[in-house]
Structure 1
Amino acid sequence: MSTERLWQLARFIGVILALFLTGFIIIRLSSLMYPFVFAFLLALLSRPLVDFFQKRLRLNRGWGALLSIILMSGLLIGSLVLIVMQLIRGLVFVANQLPDQIQELSLYFQKLYNDKLAPMWNDASEALRSLGPSQQNTVQNSIESLGSSLASFIGEGSKSIATMLQSVLATLPSIALILVIVLLAWFFLAKDWHKYEIRMKQYEMFPWFARAETVVSSLRSALFGYIKAQLTLITITFFIVLIGLLVLGVDHPFAIAFIAAFFDILPYLGTGSVFLPWIAYSIITGDTGLAIGLGILYAVVILQRNIMEPKIVGDNIGIQPITALIALFVGIKFFGVFGLILGPLVAVIIKALYNAQIFHYLWDFIKGSPTPFR
């Protein structure tokens, strides 16, 4: 192998190691810097409002930043209160209906026991009495072992739930501290945003600045695009469920549609958290028509979500629908639930780096003829 090839191989290995080291550093820092990342995103969102208070209302930028934080926090808290109120309204409706539904379920299970389970139990008892003493002991020991295993499983599950609740309560002070840090960092970043912009302009003469600015701009547009895409998908789900419930003649369709749209945010669970138990209950209580209607509505919601999500997410974050679909699938496989966010984000980062010709530069560097940033 020639010396030139050896140097190309060495540069290739160096690039790969540098990429892995960069990824490792980013992952390690993410566990420490995430409050400041949130604060940066909030400051970026509040920047137009702060500029408005400073330029139009002639407020000091510090007071403008504080006022914008109060207004945006109030809007967020108001939205959460609205969501909680709608959820409570839906839960009150369920609670009012629950006694009658429980009575119907009790009658159903009582009838099931009398018609099915009791004869089966009698037959099993007769079969057990017909066995020999040793066989009866074996069956009895198996039943006792099964009961002990079930009791142990329930006990371990209760301990796990108690431990989880304790850990949640123990993390409340940490959550409060993180919230305070985010708010303070948000204020300081929003207040001094223009100073950072002036400082960044000092680097405009450097050839790498334009490429870095392209990457940051692409990531910023992708972030807002992803939020817009998810809000669009949730809104579509809300109106589909609302129209379907109105057609089915269900009581309180708005509250139920709102709850279904809220659960649509949650990965994996989705609207199935509302529809599947409801369908099962309708089947048990003999309301087959409602069960079929809810099943069709649930299928429509799932179908539109799976068809529209790659298209809407891809259009809003600037990648092709097939690329968005691949990113969602790979993200779920590698990162689980968070892959629904991380997958498209990684795809956008790769696209932004490609648009900034970072990969072209690295390839030229490996070949031995690096092209400087222009």
Structure 2
Amino acid sequence: MIDVPRIRAMHPALAEGFAHFDGAGGTQPAESVVAAIADAMRTAVSNRGTNFEPARRSGEIVAAARSAVADLLGADPAGVVFGPSATALTYLVARTMALGQGDEVVVSRLDHDANVRPWGQTGATVRWADVDVKTGELPVDQYADLVGPRTRVVAVTAASNAIGTVPAVASIARIAHAAGALVYVDGVHATAHRPIDVAAMGADFYVTSAYKWSGPHYATVVADPALWETLSPAKLLPSPDHVPDQFEFGTLSFELLAGVTAAVDHLAGLAPSPGDRRSRLAASMAEVVAYENRLLDRLLAGLAANDRVTLCPAPADRCPTVSFRLDGQAPAETARLLGDQGICVSNGDYYAAEYFIAAGLRDSGGAVRASIYHYNTEAEIDRLLAALGALR
């Protein structure tokens, strides 16, 4: 079981007293992450090389971060590529695939726009997987009709950042792979809330951002090194021409990579257990799922008891993220009034534009989102519910 007071003490920003239900937009960093970044910037570090110690240190930082991400996701360190954001990395992969006329891509209306628009802007024909707005589910059966011999990529989220839905990615991937298509999985929201195994999921590419799991604003996309070898990115002539370095443009942020490693180690230590880091991550994240689900049940029960709240439907298998509207009040106003009380929630479409268009809510302001993270508490849930009950 995770020790929540201990974990909260590891996040210095929580001392300010805000109730953070904005984790889907970004979490507060752990103290160990802050320290790792500061230490990397206080220590002599040069661009990677072997001639002198500061250059060797930077190489060690990069190698450590690749190893950490590989443990977090069940990936090969040699297939870990870093970049400034999940959006930037998805654009990188989409452009490097050289899709175009005659190719097809399948995207979903449940996804964040960062896993939709980059594929639609390649010139390939876009085919849409629809979300069932009455249940919040992404039906798998439709993919049998959507995926065909011209399908090059199926892009799908591992968890909706809008309503928390966890699609059956492995089943979707089997359909895609049977047609010879690749599967690009947006794991930005899921990684903070679930143990991740990219191979079991059937993800050919999996992208995630460290700031969604107590880390710095840096991102990574992982794939089998052999798959990366089939792609040839546009790059500078003198830059590396080997995987994974050829996909990382310019000098990497060594200090942020030190923070990425620290964030993975933080997650691995949430529920202390024996074994290697991959095993400890699995144990910790299993406890995170159990704890966050208890908080989610408390939140959902409280929202259901408020007759002014209308929930955006979502299935039982979901991450702890809820979108709702308060009758008679614009979502932006609800979020502002809660914010005035130190309760941090999001409003709008949170870049999940296609979901809110399908639900008929985007033009009227989208919804209010409360996203639970493992440093939240029952007292904070009750604080949010009480504040909502008092809004007029």
TM range (shorter): under 0.3
Q: Return the structure number with greater relative CO, CA threshold 8 A, min gap 6.
A: 2
Q: TM-score, normalised by structure 2?
A: 0.23
More helix by share: 1
Using the size of structure 1 for normalisation, the TM-score is 0.24
Rg larger for: 1
